[in-house]
Amino acid sequence: MDLCRNPALLGDWRASQTPLYAALATALQGLLLRGELLPGDRLPPERALADALGLSRSTVVAAYGRLAEGGWVQARQGQGTTISAGPPGHVARRRRAQPLGNPALQASPRGRTEGSVGADWIDFSLATALPDLAWLSPSEASRQLALRESAYQPEGMWPLRERIAARYTRQGLATTADQIIVCAGAQQALSLLSQLYLSPGDRVLLECPNYFGAIDVFRSSGARLHAVPLQARCAHAGDFIAAAASAPKLIYLCPQLHNPSGQSWPASRSQELLRTVQRAGSSLLVIDDSLAELHFSAEARPLKPAPDAAVVHIGSLSKTLWAGLRIGWLRAPRALIEPLRHAKACADIASSSLSAAIACDLFDRMDRLLLPRRASLQHQAQHLQAALHTHLPGWAVKAPEGGLFLWAQLPAHGPRADALCEAARQAQLRLTPGTAMSVSAERGQDRVRLAFTLPEAQALAGVQRLAALGLY
């Protein structure tokens, strides 16, 4: 981390009412506590930091002196000033902080209802369709389940696990309830897997672009991300399968419906990948099917590994029906279930019984709910794509096979994705830049992801507001 080149990392430290040297010392402590600085890191030379911040050298010397008096840093002649490895510097994070792409972190302190007090925000960054209000009241049978079952089941309420297992079985992947762990959304499932199986330096294979939540989790574990660029899916699948043969520690894939592109792998290629991974026998294959039920024309058909293969499937009601339930799950072979169960108990001693009861009702009529849901989403996708074609004709958007998002390519002229998203914020619009879906800041600058779950009038107004910026 180069503070002299990026002094903004210190935040608004000058707003403090304390003397400048004390405020600067506190800001530097904050960098350590957040993981921007780690024990052993060297602080910039006093004069260089003073020039970067527009301060006198004596102010920086006094700030460093304050840190040294408290034991936060050590200053040695000829070696500069470094963060102490002993107390109090030992409270630093174990690993350096990584930037996160999750758009939810951009929410205001009041949450995502920023339009509730006179503002007029339009949010394309997250898919947040509202549920049918009737869903929020569990049936009498489900209420009885919630009261009869123990409230402390780390792996989730048994009747819900039975329903999830039964759906996998009907889709062709024989599953029992003891192979299911209910999580607080698919994101927690990814976090548990990363916590258990990834160490700093481990290699993770994934497609690029990809779901920002997966990238954030794997990057935060200290893993090295090996990304196969997403191209035409058939040709690209061959590249991915070849990379999988090199036995990375973990392979992450969304073969049935990819986030953000909305494309799917051909079934033959998916089975070829499965055979490749099972032959190598040294990779954990994580299949994220969170969007699979939202394919516009194909039924979900999860990959069918050998019974004891190291393959984990992830699913969720958050994308399929409503994110507010926070019901996700993972399906794993029995050899992996017990360590995952322990990790879940440490992270979250139990899932919500009320959410589980509602989810039981939803699973009982899932097919009846999904049919109109898919049709509505397809119509919304077509509407947003048509609005972009009319008002931003230079943008290239391929129709998705399903899901919740359009993956829009920006024209060669005009601002790149990060700059566009910043300009859009000034117009009270939220977009997800392609960089948030990429493993490096250099990739994804030509793309933005747009959720098409907004009401049609609001989506059209958002596109018109984008066009009115006059940037393309």
Walking along the chain (472 residues) 10 residues at a time, the average pLDDT comes out as 82 87 90 82 90 92 90 83 79 63 56 45 84 79 81 89 97 96 94 93 94 92 90 72 90 94 91 88 92 93 89 93 91 92 87 89 93 94 97 96 96 92 92 91 89 94 95 90
Instruction: For residue 271, count other CB atoms closer than 10 A to its CB.
Output: 14
**Per-residue pLDDT at 55:** 92
CA dihedral of 451, 453, 458, 460, whole degrees rounded to 10: 60
Is 431 in contact with 424 (CB distance < 8 Å)?
yes
Is 91 in contact with 72 (CB distance < 8 Å)?
no
**Per-residue pLDDT at 116:** 37
Does domain 133-364 fall under CATH 3.40.640.10? My reply is yes
Is 253 in contact with 287 (CB distance < 8 Å)?
yes
**Per-residue pLDDT at 118:** 36
Q: What pTM was computed for the model?
A: 0.81
What region does 50 belong to: left with phi over 0, alpha with psi -120 to 50, or beta? alpha
Topology of the domain comprising 7-91: Arc Repressor Mutant, subunit A (1.10.10)
Q: Is beta strand 311-316 parallel, antiparallel or unpaired with respect to 284-288?
A: parallel
| CA neighbor of 460 nearest in space, from 429, 425, 435 | 429
**Per-residue pLDDT at 340:** 92
How many alpha carbons lie under 13 Å from residue 444 in its C-beta half-sphere? 25
Q: What's the CA gap between 309 and 10, in Å, rounded?
A: 47
Q: What's the CA gap between 317 and 366, in Å, rounded?
A: 10
Q: Where do the domains of the chain lie?
A: 7-91, 106-127+369-468, 133-364
* CATH code at 106-127+369-468: 3.90.1150.10
